[in-house]
Structure 1
Amino acid sequence: MAQPNSQAPRPQTGNGQKRRREHPTDAKNGSHKRAKTDHRAKQRDARTLATQTSSKAFRNGELDVDKFVKSREYEIRALEEGMARSKKALTTRAFQHVPKELRRRTASHNVKRVPKRLQPRAKREMIEDNTPTVTARKRKPTRHMRLRLETAKQLRALGAQRKRSQETKSKPNGGKHISELPLAGSNAPSKGQTGLKTRTPKVKSATLASPPVAKAKFRKRQIHKTWLPTHMFHAKRARMTEPKEPLWRFAIPLTPTAKSYRPTHRAANDRGAVAWDTSYISTIGLEGQQRSVEGILKALGLGSELWEARGEKWRNGTRIWEGFALEREAPHRPIAPITVIWCVPESRPAELEKRPRKVFIRVHPSAFWLIWEELVRLAKVAKPQASVQDLRFEIGTIEITGPAATEALQAALWPISCEESPIANGGQSVESLWTALNSLTNPAMLPSDVLLGFEIQDPRLHHPPRKNKLPASERDQDQLLQILASWPFDAAQKAPAIFDRRTRLAASSSLPSQKAINRRRSLAPPGEYPAPCPKDPRIPTLLYHTSERNHSQSTYTLLLPWKCVQPVWYSLMYCPLSTGGQPRFGGLDEKRQLAFENQQPWFPADFPGTEPGWQWEIEERAKREDEWKGRPKSKRTNWESVNLGSGHKGEVGSGLACDWEKLMSLPRSDSISGEKAAHTSEITHLPSLQARNLLSAKANLKSHDNAQRTLATVRIKLLTRGVPETCARIYRLPSAKGSSQLRRRWLTLHPREQASKRRGPKNGLPTLPKDAPAHLVQRRLAQSLLKPPQVGDADYPVCPGEEDLIGFITTGNYNLGEGQGTGIGSLLLGKLLEDDGEDDKESNICIVRNSGNSAGRLAVWEVA
């Protein structure tokens, strides 16, 4: 018996039925293709204008004015309606008109996230398109979130009640504060007076500072690192270091989220300014009698010329000094570059030896422990002893560079009224002279290494800053040139208040809240800033100016209390510049970029001969190796198959590193632990001044004790095309004794050789006799027409052997400032000794080969 089938019958595959569903048929051509949706029909319909012919206005060759006017009226109304429809059917929305420099320029449905000038249009567009807009400021909590919020609210109330009860039980005299109780004796304050004033605690010498206590909701995020004062600003606008991988125990911004490589170059060199929060730079205070402080600084390797007449301004506190600090004990290896700032003495020169002097020493955080240990050891053996203070979290720093740097600082820093400041000789003060620099558009005109110390008002009272009107009269320009030429700041400078710890603490603790600032701003007349009050905080600052090589770029460095960095930073960032726009902010990558464009080495990456530089190199090796392993095998560089020419294959050393172990025949160290590598103490760095003196006379270079382990930082400039990369190999020219033919082939690529060929009537080739055979004449003609060999040609010279390797490129890229590829590298002095007896004109010529490539490029080097 057949059972009933509950399932529907399957479609037949014969001619009657088909298994697939047919596509809709195009009505025009009857095809089975799917009709395309016309997405521009709405725009085309909105932009199509209705017209009316004028034939009805003519009757028997005569013009009917009434009908003609009505037809034109119809067309005019159609034109107006079409303009209105076309305006509503635009292809761009309001959020698409936001400049790319602004944040949150995507298609957000929150009207408040577009500039104010576009908010009415965005709101109108969303209403017309029936787009749901965001009305609430915060996200509406879900049921689960609402329960958690209510529980947290109840727990906070219970905790506050328990805390109040505990304080009441622990306080004597009924819970009254000691300042509210009457004092025994005649010194009891009256009812209107305040209580006892406690003494400011003194800081013990050689005690490490603790990071500032963060707010409760941010405290867990700063267990293993410290936030900069402007962390909240940068965290929304920049790529930060990984939360679990801080850099030097700080959360440091690496680069802005927006594209900023070329804009940073233009802002720092052409128009604008670039600012950094460099509060991670460590500051150490040194205090003691002048002879003790001088003895400590001399033990750090400060040159003898600084203690003569040449360093008088530096010792008087009107100049700064930048250079390398050396170890106290032999062989006196360089530690790190430091900046030394003296405080202006407050007494006469005859009494300086008895009065205590104060000094600030600023050092990179990667070398803080090395400098700190040296200073503590030197301060203990000094007679009389000197005190060392850790000021890392008391003093913050802001750096700003660019043509508009002075203008931005003038708008952000409002000095305390000159009437309240001490007047110097001639009736001039530092505050009045600082305001006279408002017409300075080129900071490079300032004397190098000068510093200014003055007190400023709270920048929040003048926020947002206004555009500075640059004086354009000849009188103002003549006054500015006179100030720059005479520089009266040296005579007007008094002891900066930032050297006093009580002043720093008072400025930080007396900062009013933002709500109090807003109340004062609301009470001010329209268009005016709040009037200053006697209780306003006086923020001590110290500003000094430095110039790069050949005065190509100038940088201001502003020192101020740690908690005062954020208000000044916001005033700088939102300062309208006269050239348009606002100052840009930069991260660690932008700082390296501008140092590279100025052909200046950046610490610690370009100093592998120092301990912080070596540690940086080990960490970078691990990052490059992880990136290399993360690629598919087809995209990895096979280091063993690199063809170096002359039958040699395989990269010299590790292709992912500046392999100094290979160059110096040292055991490899790939460990990135905090401990020192076993051979780190064997490698040392030679400062630039000593390197120039040694390389100028090779006889002195031969007498160097540890030339086989000493590195010198150099600048590399390619003479031909090409771009050097990081970890590129640097070769010297092949020896004239061993490979004279290869040496000549490389020298023929020099631009001067090509210029000499073009200048001569016979292209610089040797002359032929008159009876030369025809084949030699044809060869000569071919040689005169041929260009020098290019990379990839069969006759292009091969790279020298491993015995001619002398160093590595630590930073290489295309230089926007030079318009060609340049690099910063280090050379081994021991390898330069082996090139003795060669021509001095060719002694600085080298060959650069990128890691993983077989072709080299001709270049020249000079000591950085």
Structure 2
Amino acid sequence: MFLKRKQQSSTHIIGPATIIWNPESTAYDPNSSKDFRRLFIRLHPSAFLETFEELCRLVRKQNPRPFVEDLRHEVGSIEITGSDSTEALLGVLKPYVSKTESKETQASKFEKLAGCRDAASLPLGSLLAFSIMDPRLRYPPQKMSPTKVDIDAIGDFHKDPCTIPFKLFDRDARFKASNVPTQKSLNRRKGEGAPGARLEPTARDPPIPIILLASRHPKDPQAPGTWTLMLPWKCVLPVWYSLMHYPLSSGGNPRFGGLNELRQLAFERGLPWFPGDFPGTGAGNAWEATQRLYRLKKWERMPKGKRAHYDTLDLGAGRKGEVGTGWNCDYEFLLVLNKKKNEPQHQQGDEDETTGEDRTAQTSDPQEGHKGKKLKPEAKSPLESLVYLPKATFNVHVSPTSEPPPATSVVTVQIKLLGRGTASTCARIYRLPEDAAITKDAAPPVPTTQQAETTPATNLLPTTSSLSFSWADGSDTKSQQQQQLPPNLREQWLALKPTNNTYTNNKKATKKTQNPKVDFEARKRMLARELLAPETITAASNNNEHPLCPGAEDLIGFVTTGSYNLRDGQATAVGVLSAVCARDELLRA
């Protein structure tokens, strides 16, 4: 789920979060006048400050006033994913059993999962809460013996819901669990016993309350599930140390992963990673601003002969220079383009006439030459104007009868490349241009590939200086771009799409050309039409050639994460699109 807050007349997304409610106690307490419930809000550290400030603001308006507490240094968590995640947890987490207390019901359920290898096989929202003993008492952990899957235990997982409050919510229980014995004292106790003997819990070894939450992929049923282990802060290191040394039945030990590995796992599963793939949120905007400085410094440190020169980048058809800033996901440029598309045509015409009359005066004064044409919006921080839309919210605006989304809204999508190559961060995402009508007075066709631009036909295109000024100015109109680009650019890109049965399609095409009912004169006219028609790139063309890049007016988003996906065996990416442009393309399709 997503945490949201109201901001003036709109709703602002804070970020994804997990909410865990403490079960209500069925025991009657005569001293309690009102029933109060507690909950945990687990979220990314980058979104904590915004969430905590919003909760404190809302708490002041409530009566009776709720209590908000910061537990960042009292409750920690470990995420375990993979096909052997359940086995590793069963080998390390041993339920706490004392002489006076019996084994907890939730602990018995956990031990019945011995044959369940993946957390995704459990029902949605499965949660376990019980107490474990210090894993250092059973160090080094021993390999679990293979057992069969208990299907009845998995089916009856939600049959007996927990009606006892979780001990992890109790401050006293967390404080006692934090007072675990030191490693030096445990070594002394091991030295007093027989060699290889296991230590038994004593009064000096407090129980450690934990919460185990099972989650799965929202779409792919074949993706492995994830266990989220929540426990007291000072007990994270002992449990993690034992997990890293557990001998798996498949061989080896569990591998450690940090934030970068979590991002890689989310990318391979086709899921957006917070905060890098969530622009429009406070944490996502801060991440983008930090990465811009990092990419700029990295670009400046590279030698001039090896770094990319974005100002002179050849986009084909005489166009020079990357659209926007090369090392940025230039959402500011995208917002300006969308704003110009939504402006009435008569306003644009009046502005063009005014600029045409005063062109001589503007060129004489360079400071006044770009008045009324600013790339940056009027806001001090353009990223703050972005509005992130979740998938459920975006689907509401897809219907033709529904209202369009906000002009500054963005949405996250997954991209799969059909051909070779990979998309890296900050790569531009274009839509297929609309078909342009071919008339008799149309300009001569431009080359259809970037490799063909070395032919003498390039002298028919506008000069580079005028094009570079229009790119930086952002005032290119759709008609100008259609004159520069080939009219069949959309068909050229669609021809690269692989078909399911190429042999059948080629056979049908051969039958059409060999129609015996067509006379000889008609065949000659058809052959002449094919020879004189402009060349169109097909999927069988040279791999070094590709159709031209669409114009700036077809820019709809940027790639935030992209690489070769080893899980799918092809190049994939996660991108951010303008919600308005994405809606228009879905309606046009």
**What TM-score range do you get, normalising by the shorter chain?**
0.7 to 0.9
Whole-angstrom CA distance in 1 between matches of 2:301 and 2:422: 25
Instruction: Please report how far the alpha carbon of residue 627 of structure 1 lies from its aligned counterpart in structure 2 after TM superposition.
Output: 1.1
Instruction: Please report how far the alpha carbon of residue 770 of structure 1 lies from its aligned counterpart in structure 2 after TM superposition.
Output: 4.4
Alignment of 1:520-599 (within 5 A): 520-548=189-217, 549-551=219-221, 552-599=223-270
Deviations 1:360-405 (A, max 9, x none): 0112111111100111111121122100001010111111111111
Alignment-mate amino acid for residue 425 of structure 2? T
Instruction: Please report how far the alpha carbon of residue 418 of structure 1 lies from its aligned counterpart in structure 2 after TM superposition.
Output: 8.1
Structure number with greater Rg is: 1
Q: Which residue of 2 aligns with 1:100?
A: none
Q: Which residue of 2 aligns with 1:133?
A: none
Q: Which residue, 166, 169, 181 being the options, matches 1:512?
A: 181
Deviations 1:261-300 (A, max 9, x none): xxxxxxxxxxxxxxxxxxxxxxxxxxxxxxxxxxxxxxxx
Matched, 1:341 2:20: yes
Instruction: Please report how far the alpha carbon of residue 722 of structure 1 lies from its aligned counterpart in structure 2 after TM superposition.
Output: 1.9
Q: Which residue of 1 aligns with 2:570?
A: 820
Q: Which residue of 1 aligns with 2:507?
A: 760
Matched, 1:730 2:429: yes
Matched, 1:486 2:188: no
Instruction: Please report how far the alpha carbon of residue 459 of structure 1 lies from its aligned counterpart in structure 2 after TM superposition.
Output: 0.9
Whole-angstrom CA distance in 1 between matches of 2:290 and 2:127: 36
Deviations 1:463-517 (A, max 9, x none): 110111112xxxx43xx111111215742462110000111011112x1111221
Whole-angstrom CA distance in 2 between matches of 1:791 and 1:688: 36
Q: Which residue of 2 aligns with 1:374?
A: 54
Alignment-mate amino acid for residue 389 of structure 2? L
Matched, 1:617 2:288: yes
The gaps in structure 2 that reach 5 residues or longer are: 338-373, 438-481
Aligned to 1:681, what secondary structure does the other structure show? Answer: helix
Alignment-mate amino acid for residue 679 of structure 1? P
Whole-angstrom CA distance in 2 between matches of 1:458 and 1:837: 59
Instruction: Please report how far the alpha carbon of residue 664 of structure 1 lies from its aligned counterpart in structure 2 after TM superposition.
Output: 0.8
Instruction: Please report how far the alpha carbon of residue 681 of structure 1 lies from its aligned counterpart in structure 2 after TM superposition.
Output: 3.0
Alignment of 1:666-705 (within 5 A): 678-695=381-398, 697-702=399-404, 704=405
Seen in structure 2, the aligned counterparts of structure 1 residues 349 and 505 have a Cα distance that, compared at 3 Å, is: closer
Q: Which residue of 2 aligns with 1:748?
A: 495
Q: Which residue, 709, 713, 730 being the options, matches 2:412?
A: 713
Whole-angstrom CA distance in 2 between matches of 1:402 and 1:759: 45
Aligned to 2:161, what secondary structure does the other structure show? Answer: helix
Determine if contact 1:734/1:743 at 8 Å carries over to the other structure. yes
The gaps in structure 1 that reach 5 residues or longer are: 1-321, 671-675, 841-864
Determine if contact 1:523/1:530 at 8 Å carries over to the other structure. no
Seen in structure 2, the aligned counterparts of structure 1 residues 391 and 784 have a Cα distance that, compared at 3 Å, is: closer
Whole-angstrom CA distance in 2 between matches of 1:719 and 1:436: 45
Seen in structure 2, the aligned counterparts of structure 1 residues 836 and 336 have a Cα distance that, compared at 3 Å, is: closer
Q: Which residue, 121, 125, 133 being the options, matches 1:445?
A: 121
Whole-angstrom CA distance in 2 between matches of 1:422 and 1:630: 64
Aligned to 1:613, what secondary structure does the other structure show? Answer: helix
Aligned to 2:276, what secondary structure does the other structure show? Answer: coil
Deviations 1:601-641 (A, max 9, x none): 00000011112111111111111111111111110111122
Matched, 1:607 2:271: no
Q: Which residue of 2 aligns with 1:53?
A: none
Alignment of 1:18-417 (within 5 A): 322-327=1-6, 330-347=9-26, 354-417=34-97
Seen in structure 2, the aligned counterparts of structure 1 residues 461 and 491 have a Cα distance that, compared at 3 Å, is: same
Whole-angstrom CA distance in 2 between matches of 1:641 and 1:392: 49
Seen in structure 2, the aligned counterparts of structure 1 residues 787 and 411 have a Cα distance that, compared at 3 Å, is: closer
Q: Percent identity?
A: 39
Q: Which residue, 541, 546, 549 being the options, matches 1:789?
A: 541
Deviations 1:772-831 (A, max 9, x none): 5469669989x99985334433xx421110000000000000001111111001110222
Q: Which residue of 2 aligns with 1:463?
A: 139
Q: Which residue, 776, 792, 808 being the options, matches 2:558?
A: 808
Determine if contact 2:400/2:587 at 8 Å carries over to the other structure. no
Seen in structure 2, the aligned counterparts of structure 1 residues 375 and 411 have a Cα distance that, compared at 3 Å, is: same
Instruction: Please report how far the alpha carbon of residue 524 of structure 1 lies from its aligned counterpart in structure 2 after TM superposition.
Output: 3.4
Q: Which residue of 1 aligns with 2:167?
A: 497
Whole-angstrom CA distance in 1 between matches of 2:126 and 2:80: 15
Q: Which moved more, 1:345-354 or 1:447-456?
A: 345-354
Q: Which residue, 652, 657, 664 being the options, matches 2:335?
A: 664
Instruction: Please report how far the alpha carbon of residue 759 of structure 1 lies from its aligned counterpart in structure 2 after TM superposition.
Output: 5.7
Seen in structure 2, the aligned counterparts of structure 1 residues 566 and 635 have a Cα distance that, compared at 3 Å, is: same
Deviations 1:239-263 (A, max 9, x none): xxxxxxxxxxxxxxxxxxxxxxxxx
Aligned to 1:464, what secondary structure does the other structure show? Answer: coil
Determine if contact 1:453/1:494 at 8 Å carries over to the other structure. no
Determine if contact 1:729/1:807 at 8 Å carries over to the other structure. yes
Alignment-mate amino acid for residue 581 of structure 2? K
Aligned to 1:338, what secondary structure does the other structure show? Answer: strand
Instruction: Please report how far the alpha carbon of residue 590 of structure 1 lies from its aligned counterpart in structure 2 after TM superposition.
Output: 1.0
Task: Give the length in aligned residue pairs.
Answer: 496
Determine if contact 2:76/2:230 at 8 Å carries over to the other structure. yes
Q: TM-score, normalised by structure 1?
A: 0.54
Whole-angstrom CA distance in 1 between matches of 2:385 and 2:328: 19
Instruction: Please report how far the alpha carbon of residue 699 of structure 1 lies from its aligned counterpart in structure 2 after TM superposition.
Output: 3.0
Seen in structure 2, the aligned counterparts of structure 1 residues 363 and 578 have a Cα distance that, compared at 3 Å, is: same
Instruction: Please report how far the alpha carbon of residue 755 of structure 1 lies from its aligned counterpart in structure 2 after TM superposition.
Output: 3.3
